[in-house]
């Protein structure tokens, strides 16, 4: 392994890492040498990896993002890496969307990211240390999907927030980048990849250039790269990880 890709001596907090993409990101960081603090909505799962510290918080609560960061620093004072991965989908059809669902989307998918990164950056700036932040957006931040208006808007906002934070934090030695997964096999897409609608899976596989749905591990490599010294001259970028889903206009027959 090239030293530039090593995370030895580093410490990271990964939000939304009890399962799915977040857990794969945490495992990728750990395998690259980092100490990792994981986070989930509920208490630590019984079979959770022993190598990870774990903190439960409902990040939709206003004070929770800063409290989570504070708890993570208490566990790992040398924390220098933050991956904001927590988020979910609460949409219904646009004409049936409620303010409650909109606020739930904004609070978790957008506000929690903003205030977690702020709390993290304040600590690093106070200690005069550099670091890096990676924000998980989505291909929905670039292309719209039916009945996903609030989710699409939240993920598009994260793409711009990544750029804006990169501008705000560059002088403090903190890099900010993002990953935008496409169709990944996670609990959020379980109804699709478990074969409830084989025709829909076939439809997407024809549209995806690499002809398959992604696995959570497919996202981890890009995130580890962005956190590593190999990406030391990259900030403000979002890497789309979708097997080519958003590249081709038509797809196969």
Residue range(s) defining the domain that contains residue 69: 3-241
On whether the CB atoms of residues 236 and 163 are closer than 8 A, the answer is: yes
Predicted TM-score (pTM) above 0.75: yes
Read off the CATH number of the domain in which 82 is found: 3.40.50.720
pLDDT of residue 40: 97
The burial of 19, by beta-carbon neighbours within 10 Å (0-12 exposed, 13-18 middle, 19 or more buried), is given as: middle
Distance CA 7, CA 188 (A): 29
Does 110 map to a domain? yes
Residues paired with residue 150 on neighbouring β-strands, in sequence order: none
Nearest Cα residue to 89 out of 150, 19, 159, 157: 150
Does 143 map to a domain? yes
The dihedral through the CA atoms of 16, 40, 105, 108 has a sign that is negative
pLDDT of residue 1: 47
Question: What domain count does the chain have?
Answer: 1
Distance CA 82, CA 42 (A): 20
Does 81 map to a domain? yes
Does 11 map to a domain? yes
pLDDT of residue 201: 80
pLDDT of residue 197: 66
Distance CA 114, CA 108 (A): 10
| 10-residue averages of pLDDT along the chain (253 residues) | 86 97 98 98 95 97 97 98 97 97 98 98 98 98 96 98 98 98 82 63 88 95 97 98 93 79
Residues paired with residue 84 on neighbouring β-strands, in sequence order: 135
Distance CA 179, CA 16 (A): 14
151 is catalytic: yes
On whether the CB atoms of residues 38 and 29 are closer than 8 A, the answer is: no
- Characterize 30-65 residue by residue with b for buried, 16 or more Cβ atoms within 10 angstroms of its Cβ, and e for exposed: bebebbbbbbbeeeeeeebeeebbbbebebbeeebb
Does 234 map to a domain? yes
DSSP label at residue 129: -
**Which SS3 state, helix, strand or coil, does residue 214 take?**
strand
Does 85 map to a domain? yes
Does 248 map to a domain? no
What is the 3-class SS of 142-154, one letter each residue?
CCCCCCCHHHHHH
Distance CA 148, CA 17 (A): 23
pLDDT of residue 112: 98
Backbone angles phi, psi at 69, to 5 degrees: -60, -40
The dihedral through the CA atoms of 209, 213, 218, 222 has a sign that is positive
On whether the CB atoms of residues 14 and 51 are closer than 8 A, the answer is: no
Nearest Cα residue to 89 out of 111, 109, 64, 116: 109
Residues paired with residue 145 on neighbouring β-strands, in sequence order: none
CA atoms within 13 A on the CB side of 20: 19
Does 249 map to a domain? no
């Amino acid at each position: 392994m090239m030293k530039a890709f090593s995370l030895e001596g580093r410490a990271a907090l990964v939000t939304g890492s009890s399962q799915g993409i977040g857990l794969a990101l945490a495992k990728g960081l750990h395998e690259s040498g980092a100490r990792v603090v994981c986070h989930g909505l509920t208490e630590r799962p019984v079979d959770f990896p022993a190598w990870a510290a774990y903190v439960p918080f409902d990040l939709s609560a206003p004070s929770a993002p800063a409290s989570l960061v504070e708890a993570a620093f208490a566990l790992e004072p040398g924390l220098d890496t933050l991956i904001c991965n927590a988020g979910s989908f609460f949409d219904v059809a646009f004409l049936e969307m409620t303010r409650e669902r909109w606020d739930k989307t904004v609070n978790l998918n957008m506000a929690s990211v903003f205030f977690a990164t702020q709390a993290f950056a304040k600590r690093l700036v106070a200690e005069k240390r550099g670091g890096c932040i990676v924000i998980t957006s989505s291909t929905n931040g670039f292309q719209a999907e039916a009945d996903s208006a609030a989710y699409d808007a939240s993920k598009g906002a994260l793409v711009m927030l990544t750029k804006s934070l990169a501008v705000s934090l560059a002088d403090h030695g903190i890099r900010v980048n993002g990953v935008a997964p496409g169709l990944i096999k996670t609990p959020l897409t379980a109804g699709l990849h478990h074969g409830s609608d084989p025709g829909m899976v076939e439809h997407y596989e024809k549209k995806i250039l690499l002809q398959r749905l992604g696995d959570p591990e497919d996202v981890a490599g890009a995130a580890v790269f962005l956190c590593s010294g190999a990406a030391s001259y990259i900030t403000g970028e979002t890497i789309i990880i979708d097997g080519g889903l958003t590249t081709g206009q038509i797809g196969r027959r």
